[in-house]
Amino acid sequence: MTVLIVLMVALMSPSVCSANPGFDDHEIRIAQYGPQTGPAATWGVIARASGLVFDLANEAGGIHGRKIKYFIRDDQYNPAQTKTVVKELVEKHGIFAFVGGVGAATGMAVKDYIIQNKIIWIAPATYVKDFVFPPNPYIYGVYFPFEDESSILTKYLVEKLKFTKIAFFYQNDPYGLDGLAGCRKRLAKYNLKPVIEIPMEATEKDLSSQILKLKNSGAEAVIGWLVPTPAVIALKTSATLNYKPQWVFPSTLGNYPLMHKITGGLWEGVITGLLWESADSTDPKIVYYREAAKRLTPDAQWGTFYMAGITYAEPLVYALKKVGRNLSTQALIKQLNSMKNFQGIGPKITWTPTRHQGTDSCMIAKCGPNGTTIKLQDWSQDDLATWRKK
C-alpha cells in the first residue's frame, strides 16, 4: 500500500509533468510569455501575433493531423514573473516548444530551466550572446545581435551623418549593455568615445535629470537602448527641455505608426534599425498576413511589432511540417539544424549544428510624416562582428 501511495504521488509531481513530450496524436503544445502589461506592454502584441501563424496552420488542417494548442502568459516584463509563468506552463501543461518571449533579462531568467527540461526555444524576442554562443541543442536565435545593430547604427551616424558627439542612454540590463558594447566598439575605430553614457531602470518614470545631462553633454545624437515606455518619456522630456538631438533607437522600437501615435508625432525623424519591411508593404507574404490579421485578430494593431511575432513563429511551423508525422524533439532539432536561408516576412534565417544565431543583417530607416517608413540603408552586416567568422 505504501509503495502504491508513493507511486501515485510521483505521478502527480511537477517533475513528471515536465517530462511530458508536449504533444500527442492530436495536438502540439507551444507557448510564449510576454509583457501584456507593465513598462513594455506595447510589445504584448508580439505574442498575440505569433498565435496568428498557428491559427492559420490549424485552419489548414494542422501539422500532419495535429493541431497547435497555443498558450500565452503575461510576465509583465519582470524576470521573477517570467520564472513563475514558464514553470507553470512546463509543469502543468507540458510544452513542446517555446517561441518568442520578449526581454533580455526575462529570457536569461528562464534560459537554464528551459534547457534543463529539454524544450526547444525558437527565436527569443531579444538578443543576448549567452542564448546562442556557444550553441546548445535547444535555443535558436532569430533576433539580430544588439551589439552588431548598435555598431551598424553608430557607423551610420559617424560616416553618413558626420556626427562625432554621440551619447548612449541605455537600460541597465543585458539588453542595454549589449547595445552599449556595440557603440563603444564602433566609436573606438574612429578614436572616439560616447560623450556621455547614462543608465536607467526600465520602471523609471521621471527621466528629466538624465535628459538634462544629455543636453549638457553637447551630444548631437543620442542612441537610446530603451523599451517603449521610457523611450516615449525620453522624447517628451527632451521636447519639454527644448533638446533636439538626432534620436536613434534599436529595431525593437521600429513600429513607426504606433510610436508616432503614442508620442504625439515626436517620433518623426527618429532613426532605428529595422528587421522588417514597412507594415504597408505590397510584398505578397506581408499582404497575406495583413489580411489574415484583419480577419482573425481585428482588435490588434498591425505593424512592426505584430510582424515580429509572425517572424518568430514562421520557422517553427515550417520545420514542424518538414519533420512529418514522426515528431520528436530530436527530429525537430535535426530539421532546425539544416535550415538554410529560410525567409518568411523577416530576415533570412540559417541554422546549423554549430551556428544557432540565425540572422546576421539589419536595415536602417527613419520615421517619416504620419509614421511612414523612410529606408536609409538596406540589409547590412557588422564588419566588426567576430561570431560570423567562427
Q: Which residue has the cell 517619416?
A: 368
Confidence of residue 5 (pLDDT cuts 50, 70, 90): very low
CB 361 within 8 A of CB 377: no
Query: What pLDDT was estimated at residue 15?
Result: 40
Q: Does the pLDDT of residue 343 top 70, yes or no? A: yes
Phi, psi at residue 207, to the nearest 5°? -110, 15
Query: What pLDDT was estimated at residue 10?
Result: 39
Q: Does the pLDDT of residue 8 top 70, yes or no? A: no
Mean pLDDT to the nearest integer, 331-344? 96
Pairwise pLDDT comparison (13 vs 165), residue with the higher score: 165
pLDDT tens digits along 80-96 = 999 999 999 999 999 99
Q: Does the pLDDT of residue 1 top 70, yes or no? A: no
Burial (Cβ within 10 Å: 0-12, 13-18, ≥19) of residue 292 = middle
Mean pLDDT to the nearest integer, 43-66? 96
* DSSP-assigned beta bridge partners for residue 166: 221
CB 347 within 8 A of CB 127: no
Query: What pLDDT was estimated at residue 272?
Result: 98
Q: Does the pLDDT of residue 2 top 50, yes or no? A: no
Mean pLDDT to the nearest integer, 213-217? 98
Query: What pLDDT was estimated at residue 318?
Result: 97
Confidence of residue 127 (pLDDT cuts 50, 70, 90): confident
Specify the DSSP element, H or E, that contains 170.
Answer: strand 166-171
The three-state secondary structure class of 27 is strand
| Sign of the alpha-carbon torsion through 153, 77, 297, 87 | positive
Mean pLDDT to the nearest integer, 220-244? 96
Confidence of residue 390 (pLDDT cuts 50, 70, 90): low
Strand order in the sheet with 67-74: 67-74, 27-34, 97-99, 120-122, 139-140
Query: What pLDDT was estimated at residue 278?
Result: 85
pLDDT tens digits along 255-299 = 999 999 999 999 999 999 998 888 888 999 999 999 999 999 999
Query: What pLDDT was estimated at residue 20?
Result: 62
Query: What pLDDT was estimated at residue 104?
Result: 87
The three-state secondary structure class of 212 is helix
Tell me the angle at which helices 304-323 and 284-296 cross, rounded to the nearest 10 degrees: 100
What is the average pLDDT value for the chain, to the nearest integer?
A: 92
Asked which of 120-129, 201-210, 322-331 is least confident by mean pLDDT, the reply is 120-129
Tell me the angle at which helices 104-116 and 79-88 cross, rounded to the nearest 10 degrees: 30
Contacts with 8 (C-beta within 8 Å, 6 or more apart), sequence order: none
Query: What pLDDT was estimated at residue 50?
Result: 98
Q: Does the pLDDT of residue 333 top 80, yes or no? A: yes
C-alpha distances in Å from residue 277, one per residue of 59, 74, 256, 269, 287: 26, 28, 12, 18, 12
